[in-house]
Structure 1
């Protein structure tokens, strides 16, 4: 009995001090894995695999509007590229979404000073009647002002909001820019507006190149014509409005919904040798808007993730856990691929070791943040030490959202990082005709690959987990 009492006392003390019990075991990354990750980082910094991948995608496929003929070509390209790179397993998962098509768009000021306007229709916009639509323009200074508007002042008119974005390293002005683009048309429609115009959600100042993007319409019956003006054309419209005379604009948008479409997420895996059913999830979205070739948004993200997987594949031994690279379908018009993936894999949230997506261009990664369990913070610090020499600072106070599509899996409980790229000039080219390969600096892209390869490998080799479990991070404040 005395022996039993001592054993019970010893067990109690161990539990109290945190020496025993899986819940208090710290996650650590073995020294050998840290060394290999450092070597991966250095190799990636001098490697051009990522650039060759995005060059291939933007040259051989070009723009990849979701649901267009190029959508299918993009999927075929991704399947072939995963196989060419040597991924152990390549497969697709279907994604169904509304089909929206663009055929043409034209606009002009018809009074008081007739002249053409450079603009582009927004995703899920309705088309205008045959022959176009002409109406008076009513300007609002902000989204809040529009929300408070008297419907009588809006009914039958073209609503215009001129919010101007400015260059920021973290791109935070896009929060309001995208809100004006997505919410504005919906509010205007409810107030009885005939159509909606906005200053493009972009930061280029001297180019008559408008930026497209999605609206918040979810039902074709509610949609009205909606389009974005280039910055110089928005300036011109505002100058003319400043004369105090009624301003009329004619819109002719041949766009609109056309049923539904079934595409797919394309997935490539490097199979883990020890825990093959546990995955480190990385990726980018395969679709793009149609004016450019989708180089920075998001060919670069797909290339970064594919190249990181390739570098890990080329190690002498497979990682302990599976590296899963996901080329998501139709992110641009509502995170359809990300939501489909999260719905399909929600029950497997606990098997997602750690994840994040690249979807902010190809500028250097300069900041890392994480949403993980407290016992995994030490492992995140180990990752941070490997990334610090290539310019990545660890922000311990910010959550990690997982990037655009993988934010949906983070919402189901996947532990996540945010790897913030330098977006100072990203919104000069975002969603417009200038999103082309020449905007990618191969050296900066290589730094991104180095970050993704090093963190993915370390997460795969970690002794312990990062806290993924159903619902684990539902209220951590990470960005969507």
Structure 2
């Protein structure tokens, strides 16, 4: 018996030593895989599977509000599409979240100059009283200005955050500033006694279409009506306020949370040839807002990653590791699908060797960044060189969380690869009724598929790992 114990202990020590050596070994991609990736890249640039997915999903299902009437239809559609494309495994994992519904919305300036306004409720908003809410407007140009105001100045009024209009920029960095106001502003206004909350849409367009998006109330019972004005209507309200007279608005929102909903992440896998239990993690989110048909946000992301994995599945010699594609549930209202995936798989996070999600539209990928262990940086260099013919630059100084839903998975220790798209046009249509199929450029979509196919294949073919392990990247845990 002591000998058996000693043998078991010796085996355990050998295994531990091997794992430690693995963690510090240099990761390299074989030359044969580099050459195959070049062929894969050229095939992807002629492949229209991704466009067919976007067209079919937006036509046959349409808008996919999380928990809405098309939620289950979209999941069933996704399962069928994965199977028809020949994925080796297809399954679902449960995701639960509050069910928010939108029925109707309207707004108008009552005085001093009566005008109708183009408005949309924010996800998580409470309803106004039946018949609407009439109240005076109090305007602020920032969250800090609102927080500095005395509560008595705000109580009973409609708070309006007259934030600057977004600029159309390739990296879309204005969005972070505006979305923070949208997410946090309503709860802060409610704490001061506001009757409702309005903000200028977080979008770079000049269309008379408002941009929706989530807001967050720690206690949904304390939620107030919250909505966004289109950019032209925000300009109109700004001009009325400049006249120096009290401004009264009427806001009517019929929306709110109706219990909880049991949804699911839909998952499919192309099985690797020799290390099938390890995988490259990719995907997009299956849900969308209900104003458009969710073409660029995020049918395109689902299509790009599914088509790229499908191309790899057609190879006569597959990479060593598997390719796992996740159609995440309810990203729009709080990354519920990504968080559920992280919770379910965090104990085996080392098996997700690297991850990259597509969730920024359908325009060209222009840059790649990564967060990996130092010993894998050379392999990222190899991936970057294979992406360069597609016009993609490599920024070795910037981190990569993998994408929106994968930020939760990255936070528990998955190495992340971020493929950054040109967002110049994206925030013109994002979260609006203009998010429709005509915004998808097939040529740019194919470039995305080529980039993902190359990155997935090379990472899945690497000798060595990229550093995924529980708690591996604590300095990068909040994502980038």
> TM (normalized to structure 1)?
0.95
Q: What is the SS of the residue equivalent to 1:475?
A: helix
Partner of residue 4, structure 2: none
Distance 1:22 1:175 in 2: 38
Aligned to 1:156: 156
Structure 1 residues 153-177: Cα deviation after superposition (integer angstroms, max 9, x where no partner): 1000000012121111000000111
Contact 1:399 1:478 in 2 (8 A): no
Partner of 2:394: 394
Shift of 1:478: 6.0
The equivalent residue for 2:53 is 53
- Rounded to whole Å, the distance in 1 between the matches of 2:389 and 2:477 is 28
Task: Indicate the residue corresponding to 2:10 in structure 1.
Answer: none
Please provide the CA RMSD for this pair: 1.0
In the aligned structure 2, how far is the partner of 1:29 from the partner of 1:243? 65
* Contact residue 23 and residue 465 of structure 2 kept, 8 A: no
Residues 287 and 332 in structure 1, CA contact (< 8 A), matched pair in contact too: yes
Looking at structure 1, the residues matched to 240 and 456 of structure 2 have their Cα atoms a distance apart, in angstroms, of 54
Provide, for residues 83-125 of structure 1, a one-character-per-residue CA deviation record: whole Å limited to 9, x for no partner: 0100000000010000000000011111111111110000000
Alpha-carbon contact 2:22-2:465 (below 8 Å) kept: no
| Structure 1 match to 2:479 | 479
Residue equivalent to 1:368: 368
Is residue 415 from structure 1 mapped to residue 407 from structure 2 by the alignment? no
Moved more, 190-199 or 38-47: 38-47
**Aligned partners of 1:58 and 1:191: how far apart in 2?**
41
Distance 1:58 1:378 in 2: 40
* Alignment partners' CA distance in 1, 2:435 and 2:298: 10
Q: Secondary structure of 1:43's partner?
A: helix
Task: Quote the offset at 1:24 in angstroms.
Answer: 3.5
1:280 aligns with 2:283: no
Does structure 2 retain, via aligned residues, the 8 Å contact 1:400–1:478? no
CA distance in 1, matches of 2:477, 2:352: 20
Identify the residue that residue 167 of structure 2 maps to in structure 1: 166
Structure 1 Cα separation of the partners of residues 471 and 178 of structure 2: 30
Kept in 2, the 8 Å contact 1:399–1:477? The answer is no
Structure 2, unmatched stretches of 5+, are 1-19
Matched, 1:181 2:182: yes
Superimposed CA distance per residue, residues 209-249 of structure 1 (whole angstroms, 9 cap, x where no aligned partner): 00000001142212000000000100001111111000000
For 1:478 and 1:224, locate their aligned partners in 2 and report how far apart those are by CA, in whole Å: 28
How do residues 108-147 of structure 1 correspond to structure 2 at under 5 angstroms?
A: 108-147=108-147
TM-score with structure 2 setting the length: 0.95
Q: Which runs of 5+ in 1 are unaligned?
A: 1-19
Contact 2:126–2:226 under 8 Å retained in 1: yes
Which residue does the alignment assign to 1:330?
330
Aligned to 1:201: 202
- How far apart, in 2, do the equivalents of 1:24 and 1:119 lie? 55
